[in-house]
Structure 1
Amino acid sequence: MRRTAGPLAVLPLLLIAACGSDGTPSQGATGTASASATAVPSPVASASPMPTVSGSFGSKATVTLPAGQPSGQFVVNTVIEGEGATVAKNDWVTVNYTAKDWTTGKDLTSSYDSGQKPQLYQAGSGQLVPAFDQTVLGKKVGTRLLVVAPPTAGFGSTGSANLGIGGGDTVVFVLDVVEDLPQDSTIGGTMTQPPADLPQVKDNGKAAPTITIPPGPPAPPTELKTSVLVKGDGKPVQSGQTLVVQYTGVLWANGQQFDSSWSHGGAQALQVGTGSLIKGWDQGLVGQTVGSRVELVVPPALGYGDKAQSSVPANSTLVFVIDILEAV
Protein backbone atom coordinates (compact mmCIF):
# COMPACT_ATOMS: atom_id res chain seq x y z
CA MET A 1 0.00 0.00 0.00
CA ARG A 2 1.59 3.19 -1.14
CA ARG A 3 2.11 5.90 1.40
CA THR A 4 0.73 8.74 -0.67
CA ALA A 5 -2.21 9.21 -3.00
CA GLY A 6 -3.79 6.41 -4.86
CA PRO A 7 -4.58 3.46 -2.62
CA LEU A 8 -6.65 2.09 -5.50
CA ALA A 9 -3.92 2.57 -8.09
CA VAL A 10 -1.78 -0.29 -9.31
CA LEU A 11 1.32 -0.47 -7.16
CA PRO A 12 4.31 0.92 -9.03
CA LEU A 13 6.83 -1.44 -10.51
CA LEU A 14 10.30 -0.91 -9.18
CA LEU A 15 12.33 -1.87 -12.21
CA ILE A 16 11.20 0.56 -14.88
CA ALA A 17 13.71 3.25 -14.01
CA ALA A 18 16.54 3.56 -16.44
CA CYS A 19 19.56 1.40 -15.72
CA GLY A 20 19.30 1.94 -12.00
CA SER A 21 22.06 2.49 -9.51
CA ASP A 22 21.89 -1.19 -8.59
CA GLY A 23 23.20 -2.03 -12.06
CA THR A 24 20.14 -3.89 -13.26
CA PRO A 25 19.64 -3.69 -17.03
CA SER A 26 16.28 -1.93 -16.91
CA GLN A 27 15.05 0.24 -19.72
CA GLY A 28 14.03 3.85 -19.32
CA ALA A 29 14.71 7.49 -20.08
CA THR A 30 18.48 7.59 -19.66
CA GLY A 31 20.34 4.99 -21.64
CA THR A 32 17.09 3.72 -23.15
CA ALA A 33 17.31 0.01 -23.70
CA SER A 34 14.32 -0.42 -25.98
CA ALA A 35 14.42 -0.87 -29.71
CA SER A 36 11.57 1.56 -30.27
CA ALA A 37 12.78 2.76 -33.64
CA THR A 38 13.85 -0.65 -34.94
CA ALA A 39 11.93 -3.91 -34.81
CA VAL A 40 13.38 -6.55 -32.51
CA PRO A 41 14.66 -9.43 -34.66
CA SER A 42 13.35 -12.94 -34.12
CA PRO A 43 15.80 -14.93 -31.98
CA VAL A 44 17.76 -17.85 -33.34
CA ALA A 45 19.25 -20.75 -31.38
CA SER A 46 22.79 -20.30 -32.68
CA ALA A 47 24.96 -18.16 -34.92
CA SER A 48 28.56 -17.95 -35.99
CA PRO A 49 30.71 -17.02 -34.18
CA MET A 50 29.31 -17.90 -30.75
CA PRO A 51 30.53 -17.24 -27.20
CA THR A 52 30.99 -20.22 -24.90
CA VAL A 53 29.74 -20.51 -21.31
CA SER A 54 31.11 -22.45 -18.35
CA GLY A 55 29.94 -22.73 -14.77
CA SER A 56 26.92 -24.20 -13.05
CA PHE A 57 23.40 -22.87 -12.69
CA GLY A 58 23.13 -20.64 -9.63
CA SER A 59 26.68 -19.31 -9.83
CA LYS A 60 28.34 -16.59 -11.86
CA ALA A 61 29.05 -17.81 -15.38
CA THR A 62 32.32 -17.50 -17.26
CA VAL A 63 31.74 -16.13 -20.77
CA THR A 64 34.49 -16.66 -23.34
CA LEU A 65 34.23 -14.56 -26.49
CA PRO A 66 35.28 -16.05 -29.84
CA ALA A 67 37.51 -14.44 -32.40
CA GLY A 68 35.67 -12.34 -34.93
CA GLN A 69 32.81 -9.89 -34.83
CA PRO A 70 29.25 -10.63 -33.69
CA SER A 71 26.91 -11.90 -36.37
CA GLY A 72 24.31 -9.23 -35.58
CA GLN A 73 21.71 -11.89 -34.84
CA PHE A 74 19.63 -12.11 -31.67
CA VAL A 75 20.62 -15.47 -30.19
CA VAL A 76 18.82 -17.32 -27.40
CA ASN A 77 20.51 -20.62 -26.65
CA THR A 78 19.53 -23.03 -23.87
CA VAL A 79 22.69 -24.05 -22.01
CA ILE A 80 20.93 -25.96 -19.21
CA GLU A 81 17.31 -27.13 -19.47
CA GLY A 82 15.32 -26.58 -16.29
CA GLU A 83 12.58 -28.81 -14.89
CA GLY A 84 10.48 -26.27 -13.00
CA ALA A 85 7.42 -24.20 -13.86
CA THR A 86 7.17 -22.69 -17.33
CA VAL A 87 7.33 -18.89 -17.58
CA ALA A 88 4.25 -17.32 -19.21
CA LYS A 89 3.65 -13.73 -20.26
CA ASN A 90 3.21 -11.34 -17.33
CA ASP A 91 4.42 -13.88 -14.79
CA TRP A 92 6.72 -12.43 -12.14
CA VAL A 93 10.08 -13.98 -12.92
CA THR A 94 13.31 -13.81 -10.92
CA VAL A 95 16.49 -14.04 -12.97
CA ASN A 96 20.15 -14.03 -12.02
CA TYR A 97 22.48 -12.83 -14.73
CA THR A 98 26.08 -12.56 -15.87
CA ALA A 99 26.89 -10.01 -18.58
CA LYS A 100 29.75 -9.17 -20.93
CA ASP A 101 30.11 -6.49 -23.61
CA TRP A 102 31.19 -8.33 -26.77
CA THR A 103 32.18 -5.10 -28.51
CA THR A 104 34.67 -4.05 -25.82
CA GLY A 105 35.34 -7.42 -24.17
CA LYS A 106 34.58 -5.96 -20.74
CA ASP A 107 32.76 -7.82 -18.01
CA LEU A 108 29.62 -5.97 -16.87
CA THR A 109 27.78 -5.91 -13.57
CA SER A 110 26.44 -9.31 -12.55
CA SER A 111 23.67 -10.09 -10.09
CA TYR A 112 26.14 -12.54 -8.55
CA ASP A 113 28.53 -9.70 -7.67
CA SER A 114 28.73 -8.55 -4.07
CA GLY A 115 25.91 -6.17 -3.18
CA GLN A 116 23.85 -6.96 -6.28
CA LYS A 117 20.42 -8.58 -6.53
CA PRO A 118 18.57 -10.78 -9.02
CA GLN A 119 16.34 -9.07 -11.56
CA LEU A 120 12.63 -9.32 -10.75
CA TYR A 121 10.19 -8.36 -13.51
CA GLN A 122 7.06 -9.31 -15.41
CA ALA A 123 8.06 -11.46 -18.35
CA GLY A 124 7.03 -10.21 -21.78
CA SER A 125 5.63 -6.93 -20.45
CA GLY A 126 8.04 -4.71 -22.37
CA GLN A 127 9.57 -3.07 -19.30
CA LEU A 128 13.08 -4.43 -19.79
CA VAL A 129 15.37 -4.82 -22.76
CA PRO A 130 14.18 -7.60 -25.11
CA ALA A 131 17.23 -9.67 -24.12
CA PHE A 132 15.53 -10.08 -20.72
CA ASP A 133 11.90 -9.37 -21.50
CA GLN A 134 11.30 -11.91 -24.25
CA THR A 135 13.92 -14.61 -23.82
CA VAL A 136 12.47 -16.22 -20.69
CA LEU A 137 8.99 -16.76 -22.13
CA GLY A 138 8.27 -20.47 -22.45
CA LYS A 139 11.39 -21.41 -20.47
CA LYS A 140 11.34 -23.45 -17.28
CA VAL A 141 12.65 -22.53 -13.86
CA GLY A 142 16.14 -23.96 -13.55
CA THR A 143 17.05 -23.05 -17.13
CA ARG A 144 20.32 -21.30 -17.99
CA LEU A 145 20.23 -19.26 -21.19
CA LEU A 146 23.00 -17.79 -23.30
CA VAL A 147 21.68 -14.60 -24.91
CA VAL A 148 23.56 -12.61 -27.54
CA ALA A 149 21.84 -9.24 -27.78
CA PRO A 150 22.60 -6.98 -30.73
CA PRO A 151 21.65 -3.32 -30.21
CA THR A 152 18.10 -3.97 -31.45
CA ALA A 153 17.56 -6.48 -28.64
CA GLY A 154 19.70 -4.66 -26.10
CA PHE A 155 20.66 -1.08 -25.46
CA GLY A 156 20.15 0.41 -28.90
CA SER A 157 22.21 3.16 -30.46
CA THR A 158 22.49 5.10 -27.19
CA GLY A 159 23.91 2.35 -25.00
CA SER A 160 23.94 2.79 -21.23
CA ALA A 161 26.40 5.07 -19.50
CA ASN A 162 25.44 3.60 -16.11
CA LEU A 163 26.31 0.09 -17.20
CA GLY A 164 29.33 1.10 -19.29
CA ILE A 165 27.74 -0.03 -22.56
CA GLY A 166 28.42 2.03 -25.65
CA GLY A 167 25.92 2.86 -28.34
CA GLY A 168 25.67 0.00 -30.82
CA ASP A 169 27.43 -2.52 -28.57
CA THR A 170 26.48 -6.19 -28.63
CA VAL A 171 26.01 -7.60 -25.13
CA VAL A 172 26.18 -11.24 -24.02
CA PHE A 173 24.00 -12.32 -21.10
CA VAL A 174 23.84 -15.61 -19.25
CA LEU A 175 20.44 -15.79 -17.55
CA ASP A 176 19.51 -18.21 -14.77
CA VAL A 177 15.72 -18.50 -14.36
CA VAL A 178 15.32 -18.82 -10.59
CA GLU A 179 11.62 -18.33 -9.82
CA ASP A 180 8.30 -17.95 -11.63
CA LEU A 181 5.08 -16.61 -10.12
CA PRO A 182 1.89 -16.31 -12.18
CA GLN A 183 -0.22 -13.26 -11.38
CA ASP A 184 -2.87 -15.42 -9.71
CA SER A 185 -0.36 -16.95 -7.29
CA THR A 186 -1.46 -17.17 -3.69
CA ILE A 187 -0.40 -18.75 -0.41
CA GLY A 188 -1.79 -22.19 0.33
CA GLY A 189 -1.89 -24.16 3.54
CA THR A 190 -4.09 -24.31 6.61
CA MET A 191 -4.72 -20.91 8.15
CA THR A 192 -4.52 -20.06 11.83
CA GLN A 193 -7.14 -17.43 12.62
CA PRO A 194 -6.25 -14.26 14.55
CA PRO A 195 -7.59 -13.71 18.08
CA ALA A 196 -11.38 -13.42 18.24
CA ASP A 197 -11.27 -9.64 18.78
CA LEU A 198 -9.49 -9.16 15.44
CA PRO A 199 -10.89 -9.62 11.92
CA GLN A 200 -11.33 -13.23 10.81
CA VAL A 201 -10.26 -14.42 7.36
CA LYS A 202 -11.80 -16.87 4.90
CA ASP A 203 -9.60 -18.25 2.14
CA ASN A 204 -11.12 -18.07 -1.34
CA GLY A 205 -8.43 -19.83 -3.33
CA LYS A 206 -7.46 -17.82 -6.40
CA ALA A 207 -9.58 -14.86 -5.35
CA ALA A 208 -9.42 -12.16 -2.70
CA PRO A 209 -9.92 -13.53 0.82
CA THR A 210 -13.00 -12.54 2.78
CA ILE A 211 -12.17 -10.40 5.81
CA THR A 212 -14.85 -10.21 8.51
CA ILE A 213 -14.67 -7.45 11.11
CA PRO A 214 -15.66 -8.46 14.69
CA PRO A 215 -19.33 -7.79 15.51
CA GLY A 216 -20.04 -4.28 16.74
CA PRO A 217 -17.40 -3.52 15.69
CA PRO A 218 -15.42 -2.92 18.90
CA ALA A 219 -13.12 0.06 19.23
CA PRO A 220 -10.20 -0.46 16.85
CA PRO A 221 -6.75 -1.11 18.27
CA THR A 222 -4.52 1.92 18.62
CA GLU A 223 -1.34 -0.04 17.88
CA LEU A 224 -0.33 -2.18 14.91
CA LYS A 225 -1.66 -5.72 15.22
CA THR A 226 0.11 -8.44 13.26
CA SER A 227 -1.22 -11.98 12.92
CA VAL A 228 0.57 -14.69 10.94
CA LEU A 229 -2.20 -16.75 9.34
CA VAL A 230 0.13 -19.06 7.40
CA LYS A 231 3.80 -19.30 8.38
CA GLY A 232 6.06 -19.49 5.33
CA ASP A 233 9.31 -21.41 5.29
CA GLY A 234 11.25 -18.87 3.23
CA LYS A 235 13.84 -16.33 4.34
CA PRO A 236 12.84 -13.34 6.49
CA VAL A 237 11.93 -10.18 4.61
CA GLN A 238 14.61 -7.51 4.88
CA SER A 239 14.21 -3.76 4.71
CA GLY A 240 14.82 -2.52 1.17
CA GLN A 241 13.79 -5.72 -0.54
CA THR A 242 11.33 -5.89 -3.41
CA LEU A 243 8.36 -8.09 -2.57
CA VAL A 244 5.80 -9.77 -4.79
CA VAL A 245 2.51 -9.84 -2.91
CA GLN A 246 -1.19 -10.47 -3.15
CA TYR A 247 -3.18 -8.26 -0.80
CA THR A 248 -6.67 -7.15 0.14
CA GLY A 249 -7.58 -4.17 2.32
CA VAL A 250 -10.84 -3.37 4.11
CA LEU A 251 -11.99 -0.66 6.51
CA TRP A 252 -12.31 -1.60 10.17
CA ALA A 253 -15.35 0.68 10.50
CA ASN A 254 -17.61 -1.24 8.11
CA GLY A 255 -15.62 -4.06 6.47
CA GLN A 256 -15.81 -2.36 3.07
CA GLN A 257 -13.04 -3.40 0.68
CA PHE A 258 -11.11 -0.39 -0.60
CA ASP A 259 -8.25 -2.07 -2.44
CA SER A 260 -7.10 -5.48 -3.61
CA SER A 261 -4.39 -6.71 -5.93
CA TRP A 262 -7.03 -9.08 -7.32
CA SER A 263 -8.92 -6.10 -8.72
CA HIS A 264 -6.02 -4.80 -10.79
CA GLY A 265 -4.21 -7.70 -12.32
CA GLY A 266 -3.09 -9.90 -9.47
CA ALA A 267 0.28 -10.12 -7.74
CA GLN A 268 2.09 -6.80 -7.41
CA ALA A 269 5.68 -5.73 -6.73
CA LEU A 270 6.61 -3.18 -4.08
CA GLN A 271 9.58 -2.15 -2.00
CA VAL A 272 9.34 -2.52 1.74
CA GLY A 273 11.09 -0.72 4.56
CA THR A 274 12.10 2.38 2.60
CA GLY A 275 9.22 4.75 3.38
CA SER A 276 7.46 4.28 0.05
CA LEU A 277 4.66 2.32 1.77
CA ILE A 278 2.50 3.21 4.74
CA LYS A 279 4.31 2.67 8.03
CA GLY A 280 2.05 -0.22 8.97
CA TRP A 281 3.31 -2.24 6.02
CA ASP A 282 6.95 -1.35 6.59
CA GLN A 283 6.72 -2.31 10.26
CA GLY A 284 4.48 -5.32 9.81
CA LEU A 285 6.17 -7.04 6.88
CA VAL A 286 9.89 -6.66 7.59
CA GLY A 287 10.96 -9.82 9.40
CA GLN A 288 8.08 -11.97 8.14
CA THR A 289 9.11 -15.03 6.15
CA VAL A 290 8.52 -15.51 2.44
CA GLY A 291 5.57 -17.82 1.89
CA SER A 292 3.58 -16.31 4.75
CA ARG A 293 0.05 -14.94 4.81
CA VAL A 294 -0.15 -12.07 7.27
CA GLU A 295 -3.01 -9.97 8.63
CA LEU A 296 -2.18 -6.37 9.56
CA VAL A 297 -4.54 -4.13 11.50
CA VAL A 298 -3.15 -0.65 10.88
CA PRO A 299 -4.19 2.32 13.05
CA PRO A 300 -4.48 5.74 11.38
CA ALA A 301 -1.10 6.90 12.67
CA LEU A 302 0.58 4.09 10.71
CA GLY A 303 -1.74 4.38 7.70
CA TYR A 304 -3.08 7.52 6.05
CA GLY A 305 -3.62 9.53 9.23
CA ASP A 306 -6.04 12.42 8.94
CA LYS A 307 -5.79 12.48 5.14
CA ALA A 308 -8.67 10.92 3.22
CA GLN A 309 -7.59 8.72 0.31
CA SER A 310 -10.26 8.05 -2.31
CA SER A 311 -12.61 5.57 -0.61
CA VAL A 312 -10.57 5.62 2.62
CA PRO A 313 -11.95 8.26 5.02
CA ALA A 314 -9.63 10.29 7.21
CA ASN A 315 -8.53 8.63 10.47
CA SER A 316 -9.40 5.14 9.24
CA THR A 317 -8.13 1.93 10.78
CA LEU A 318 -7.20 -0.41 7.94
CA VAL A 319 -7.15 -4.20 7.78
CA PHE A 320 -4.98 -6.04 5.27
CA VAL A 321 -4.40 -9.67 4.41
CA ILE A 322 -1.09 -10.00 2.57
CA ASP A 323 0.48 -13.01 0.87
CA ILE A 324 4.28 -12.66 0.69
CA LEU A 325 5.10 -14.60 -2.46
CA GLU A 326 8.69 -13.51 -3.12
CA ALA A 327 11.38 -11.20 -1.74
CA VAL A 328 14.43 -10.07 -3.71
Structure 2
Amino acid sequence: MKLKPLILVPVAASALVLTGCSSTDDSASETTSPTAAPTTCPTDVPASTTQADWVLQGTKGSMEVVAPTDAKAPLITVNGEFEVGETTVKTLVPGTGADVTADSFVSVCYAGVNGRDGKIFDSAFESGSPASFSPTGVVSGFGQALIGQKVGAKVAVAMTPADGYGPSGQPAADILGTDTLIFALSILDAS
Protein backbone atom coordinates (compact mmCIF):
# COMPACT_ATOMS: atom_id res chain seq x y z
CA MET A 1 0.00 0.00 0.00
CA LYS A 2 1.39 3.40 -0.93
CA LEU A 3 1.13 5.95 1.88
CA LYS A 4 -0.06 9.45 1.09
CA PRO A 5 2.39 12.22 1.95
CA LEU A 6 1.21 14.78 4.49
CA ILE A 7 3.89 17.23 3.45
CA LEU A 8 2.08 18.07 0.19
CA VAL A 9 -1.05 19.34 1.94
CA PRO A 10 0.53 22.48 3.45
CA VAL A 11 1.67 23.79 0.07
CA ALA A 12 -1.84 25.09 -0.61
CA ALA A 13 -2.08 26.39 2.95
CA SER A 14 1.23 28.23 2.53
CA ALA A 15 -0.20 30.10 -0.44
CA LEU A 16 -2.93 31.39 1.87
CA VAL A 17 -0.30 32.83 4.20
CA LEU A 18 1.15 34.92 1.41
CA THR A 19 -2.21 36.25 0.25
CA GLY A 20 -4.44 36.40 3.29
CA CYS A 21 -2.48 36.46 6.50
CA SER A 22 -0.13 39.39 6.08
CA SER A 23 -2.25 41.89 7.97
CA THR A 24 -1.53 42.75 11.58
CA ASP A 25 -5.04 44.17 12.08
CA ASP A 26 -6.71 42.43 15.04
CA SER A 27 -10.19 43.76 14.26
CA ALA A 28 -11.26 40.49 12.62
CA SER A 29 -10.81 38.62 15.90
CA GLU A 30 -13.02 41.13 17.67
CA THR A 31 -15.93 40.50 15.31
CA THR A 32 -15.55 36.72 15.14
CA SER A 33 -17.97 34.61 17.14
CA PRO A 34 -16.29 33.01 20.19
CA THR A 35 -17.41 29.59 18.95
CA ALA A 36 -15.99 30.02 15.45
CA ALA A 37 -13.01 27.85 14.57
CA PRO A 38 -9.68 29.70 14.58
CA THR A 39 -8.42 30.59 11.12
CA THR A 40 -4.74 30.84 12.04
CA CYS A 41 -2.20 28.79 13.95
CA PRO A 42 -0.15 30.39 16.74
CA THR A 43 3.50 30.76 15.75
CA ASP A 44 5.10 31.53 19.14
CA VAL A 45 6.66 28.54 20.89
CA PRO A 46 6.80 28.03 24.64
CA ALA A 47 10.06 28.45 26.54
CA SER A 48 12.34 25.42 26.44
CA THR A 49 11.94 25.17 30.24
CA THR A 50 8.15 24.60 29.97
CA GLN A 51 7.13 21.30 31.56
CA ALA A 52 6.25 18.61 29.02
CA ASP A 53 2.69 17.31 28.82
CA TRP A 54 3.90 13.99 27.42
CA VAL A 55 7.22 12.18 27.81
CA LEU A 56 7.73 8.96 25.88
CA GLN A 57 10.68 6.60 26.21
CA GLY A 58 11.21 4.94 22.84
CA THR A 59 12.94 1.72 21.90
CA LYS A 60 15.78 4.16 21.31
CA GLY A 61 15.98 7.67 22.81
CA SER A 62 13.04 9.63 24.20
CA MET A 63 10.89 12.62 23.33
CA GLU A 64 8.89 15.29 25.13
CA VAL A 65 5.89 17.27 23.91
CA VAL A 66 4.52 20.51 25.30
CA ALA A 67 0.94 20.70 24.05
CA PRO A 68 -0.10 23.49 21.74
CA THR A 69 -2.47 26.10 23.17
CA ASP A 70 -4.63 28.78 21.61
CA ALA A 71 -1.67 31.18 22.00
CA LYS A 72 1.37 28.91 21.59
CA ALA A 73 2.63 26.33 19.12
CA PRO A 74 3.74 22.98 20.54
CA LEU A 75 7.30 22.26 21.56
CA ILE A 76 8.67 18.84 20.60
CA THR A 77 12.07 17.88 22.02
CA VAL A 78 13.92 14.74 20.90
CA ASN A 79 16.57 13.31 23.22
CA GLY A 80 19.01 11.16 21.27
CA GLU A 81 17.93 9.39 18.11
CA PHE A 82 14.29 8.52 18.86
CA GLU A 83 12.53 5.38 17.62
CA VAL A 84 9.31 3.60 18.59
CA GLY A 85 8.29 -0.01 18.07
CA GLU A 86 4.60 0.84 17.78
CA THR A 87 2.62 3.94 16.93
CA THR A 88 1.40 5.71 20.07
CA VAL A 89 -1.27 8.42 20.18
CA LYS A 90 -1.65 10.65 23.25
CA THR A 91 -4.58 13.01 23.80
CA LEU A 92 -2.94 15.94 25.55
CA VAL A 93 -6.13 18.00 25.93
CA PRO A 94 -9.52 16.44 25.10
CA GLY A 95 -11.78 18.26 22.68
CA THR A 96 -15.44 19.06 23.29
CA GLY A 97 -16.66 19.66 19.73
CA ALA A 98 -17.78 17.45 16.87
CA ASP A 99 -16.38 13.95 16.47
CA VAL A 100 -13.64 13.37 13.92
CA THR A 101 -14.38 10.34 11.77
CA ALA A 102 -12.77 8.80 8.69
CA ASP A 103 -15.40 10.67 6.64
CA SER A 104 -14.62 14.07 8.20
CA PHE A 105 -12.85 16.97 6.55
CA VAL A 106 -10.67 18.58 9.21
CA SER A 107 -8.83 21.83 9.76
CA VAL A 108 -5.65 21.25 11.77
CA CYS A 109 -2.62 23.11 13.06
CA TYR A 110 0.31 20.68 13.36
CA ALA A 111 4.06 20.33 13.64
CA GLY A 112 6.00 17.28 12.44
CA VAL A 113 9.43 16.38 13.82
CA ASN A 114 11.81 13.68 12.67
CA GLY A 115 12.88 11.37 15.51
CA ARG A 116 16.25 10.76 13.87
CA ASP A 117 17.49 14.33 14.21
CA GLY A 118 14.80 16.27 16.15
CA LYS A 119 14.24 18.68 13.25
CA ILE A 120 10.86 20.04 12.21
CA PHE A 121 10.13 18.88 8.67
CA ASP A 122 6.66 20.38 8.27
CA SER A 123 4.62 22.79 10.37
CA ALA A 124 1.35 24.65 9.96
CA PHE A 125 2.28 26.39 13.23
CA GLU A 126 5.38 27.89 11.58
CA SER A 127 3.38 29.06 8.56
CA GLY A 128 0.53 30.34 10.73
CA SER A 129 -2.10 28.69 8.50
CA PRO A 130 -4.02 25.51 9.31
CA ALA A 131 -4.21 22.71 6.76
CA SER A 132 -7.51 21.10 5.73
CA PHE A 133 -7.83 17.50 4.57
CA SER A 134 -9.49 14.14 5.16
CA PRO A 135 -7.99 11.98 7.95
CA THR A 136 -7.69 9.21 5.36
CA GLY A 137 -5.77 11.48 2.97
CA VAL A 138 -2.60 11.64 5.07
CA VAL A 139 -0.06 9.14 6.37
CA SER A 140 -1.80 6.50 8.48
CA GLY A 141 -0.18 7.49 11.79
CA PHE A 142 -1.48 11.05 11.40
CA GLY A 143 -4.93 9.68 10.59
CA GLN A 144 -4.81 7.56 13.76
CA ALA A 145 -4.13 10.73 15.77
CA LEU A 146 -7.27 12.37 14.31
CA ILE A 147 -9.97 9.69 14.03
CA GLY A 148 -11.89 9.29 17.29
CA GLN A 149 -10.92 12.73 18.64
CA LYS A 150 -13.22 15.73 19.05
CA VAL A 151 -12.77 19.23 17.67
CA GLY A 152 -10.67 21.26 20.10
CA ALA A 153 -8.43 18.32 21.02
CA LYS A 154 -4.67 18.76 21.31
CA VAL A 155 -3.03 15.48 20.31
CA ALA A 156 0.45 14.05 19.81
CA VAL A 157 1.54 10.92 18.00
CA ALA A 158 4.84 9.07 17.72
CA MET A 159 4.61 6.85 14.65
CA THR A 160 6.60 3.97 13.30
CA PRO A 161 8.12 4.32 9.84
CA ALA A 162 5.40 1.99 8.49
CA ASP A 163 2.70 4.40 9.74
CA GLY A 164 4.69 7.33 8.36
CA TYR A 165 6.11 7.32 4.84
CA GLY A 166 7.06 3.64 4.71
CA PRO A 167 10.28 2.14 3.36
CA SER A 168 10.76 4.77 0.65
CA GLY A 169 10.59 7.66 3.14
CA GLN A 170 10.03 11.20 1.88
CA PRO A 171 13.35 12.36 0.39
CA ALA A 172 12.10 15.92 -0.27
CA ALA A 173 11.65 16.34 3.49
CA ASP A 174 14.85 14.42 4.41
CA ILE A 175 12.75 11.57 5.88
CA LEU A 176 14.34 8.14 5.57
CA GLY A 177 12.30 4.95 5.39
CA THR A 178 13.51 4.07 8.90
CA ASP A 179 12.56 7.36 10.60
CA THR A 180 10.11 7.60 13.49
CA LEU A 181 7.95 10.72 13.13
CA ILE A 182 6.34 12.81 15.85
CA PHE A 183 3.41 15.16 15.34
CA ALA A 184 1.71 17.53 17.78
CA LEU A 185 -1.56 19.01 16.58
CA SER A 186 -4.66 21.04 17.37
CA ILE A 187 -7.94 20.04 15.74
CA LEU A 188 -9.68 23.29 14.83
CA ASP A 189 -12.72 22.07 12.93
CA ALA A 190 -14.35 18.98 11.40
CA SER A 191 -17.25 18.67 9.00
**TM-score normalised by the chain length of structure 1:** 0.43
Q: 1:241: how far off?
A: 0.7
In the alignment, the residues of structure 1 paired with residue 52 and residue 97 of structure 2 have an alpha-carbon distance, to the nearest angstrom, of 18
Q: Render the CA deviation track for 1:26-66: whole Å, top value 9, x for unaligned.
A: xxxxxxxxxxxxxxxxxxxxxxxxxxxxxxxxxxxxxxxxx
Structure 1: gaps (5+ residues): 14-88, 92-137, 143-177
Q: In structure 2, which of residues 70, 76, 91 is the aligned counterpart of residue 211 of structure 1? A: 76
Q: Which residue of 1 aligns with 2:146?
A: 285
Alignment of 1:25-36 (within 5 A): none
Q: Render the CA deviation track for 1:145-176: whole Å, top value 9, x for unaligned.
A: xxxxxxxxxxxxxxxxxxxxxxxxxxxxxxxx
Q: Bigger relative contact order, structure 1 or 2, given CA contacts below 8 A and separation 6+?
A: 2
In the alignment, the residues of structure 2 paired with residue 322 and residue 204 of structure 1 have an alpha-carbon distance, to the nearest angstrom, of 7
Q: In structure 2, which of residues 13, 32, 38 is the aligned counterpart of residue 181 of structure 1? A: 38
Q: Which residue of 2 aligns with 1:239?
A: 102
Q: Which residue of 2 aligns with 1:59?
A: none
Q: Which residue of 2 aligns with 1:305?
A: 166
Give the residue type in structure 2 aligned to 1:193: D
Q: 1:7: how far off?
A: 1.8
In the alignment, is the contact (CA less than 8 A) between 1:251 and 1:318 conserved in 2?
Answer: yes
In the alignment, the residues of structure 1 paired with residue 68 and residue 5 of structure 2 have an alpha-carbon distance, to the nearest angstrom, of 29
Structure 2: gaps (5+ residues): 14-18, 22-29, 44-50
Alignment of 1:157-236 (within 5 A): 179-184=36-41, 193-197=53-57, 198-202=62-66, 206-213=71-78, 215-217=79-81, 220-236=83-99
Q: Which residue of 2 aligns with 1:34?
A: none
In the alignment, is the contact (CA less than 8 A) between 2:108 and 2:130 conserved in 1?
Answer: yes
Secondary structure, in 3 states, of the residue corresponding to 2:121?
Answer: strand
Give the residue type in structure 1 aligned to 2:178: N
Q: Which residue of 2 aligns with 1:327?
A: 190
Q: Render the CA deviation track for 1:200-229: whole Å, top value 9, x for unaligned.
A: 12357645322012x3345x2221101111
**TM-score normalised by the chain length of structure 2:** 0.71
Question: Using a 3 Å threshold, how does the CA distance of structure 1 residues 179 and 11 change in structure 2: closer, same or farther?
Answer: farther
In the alignment, is the contact (CA less than 8 A) between 1:192 and 1:229 conserved in 2?
Answer: no
Q: Give the number of the structure whose alpha-carbon radius of gyration is greater.
A: 1
Q: 1:271: how far off?
A: 1.1
Q: Which residue of 2 aligns with 1:10?
A: 10
Question: Using a 3 Å threshold, how does the CA distance of structure 1 residues 235 and 192 change in structure 2: closer, same or farther?
Answer: farther
In the alignment, the residues of structure 2 paired with residue 270 and residue 290 of structure 1 have an alpha-carbon distance, to the nearest angstrom, of 14
Secondary structure, in 3 states, of the residue corresponding to 2:176?
Answer: coil
Q: Render the CA deviation track for 1:240-295: whole Å, top value 9, x for unaligned.
A: 2111111001111121111101333421111113xx21011122210012111111
In the alignment, the residues of structure 1 paired with residue 65 and residue 189 of structure 2 have an alpha-carbon distance, to the nearest angstrom, of 22
Q: What number of residue pairs does the alignment pair up?
A: 164
Q: Which residue of 2 aligns with 1:146?
A: none
Give the residue type in structure 1 aligned to 2:185: I
Question: Using a 3 Å threshold, how does the CA distance of structure 1 residues 5 and 234 change in structure 2: closer, same or farther?
Answer: closer
Question: Using a 3 Å threshold, how does the CA distance of structure 1 residues 6 and 277 change in structure 2: closer, same or farther?
Answer: closer
